[in-house]
Amino acid sequence: MALQSKNKIEASFSMSSMTDIIFLLLIFFMLTSSFITPSGLPVNLPSSESSDIVMQEVTVSVTKDLRFAVNDKQVSRDEIKNALTALLKDNKGYVVLHIDKEVPVEYLVEIGGYAASLGANVTIATQPFK
């Protein structure tokens, strides 16, 4: 007479709990990472003690060799005001200035004045101290 056990042990491993943990970690790291979008032109930003992150609606970049870009589109110095007017006519949002630290302050004041006259909030992009 052969006796058989009614309780059979299954030799499989469920991966569902492992995938849940991986997805939770992925979501955590995505939410805690910084949401900084690069500007159109490579610039060497100045440093500051506090560097707040602002949602960039319009970016204006000025390189040390005085190349200008508005939202990744290269423009001349004379076209900046027209480009900002077109981008800010319906939306009074933020204008983030990515200006190289070697550029004279007069360009910063000029572009910031254009944006402020259109009712936008002007922010200067900086790098935190290291």
**Domains (range + CATH), the chain:** 47-128 (3.30.420.270)
- Mean pLDDT, all residues of the chain: 78
State the CB neighbour count (10 A cutoff) for residue 75: 17
Helices (H), 64-103: 80-88
Instruction: Express each pLDDT in 62-80 by its tens digit.
Output: 888 888 888 888 888 888 8
List the structure tokens of 116: 């402020």
- pTM value? 0.58
Cα 38 to the center of its chain, rounded Å:
6
List the structure tokens of 95: 């204008």
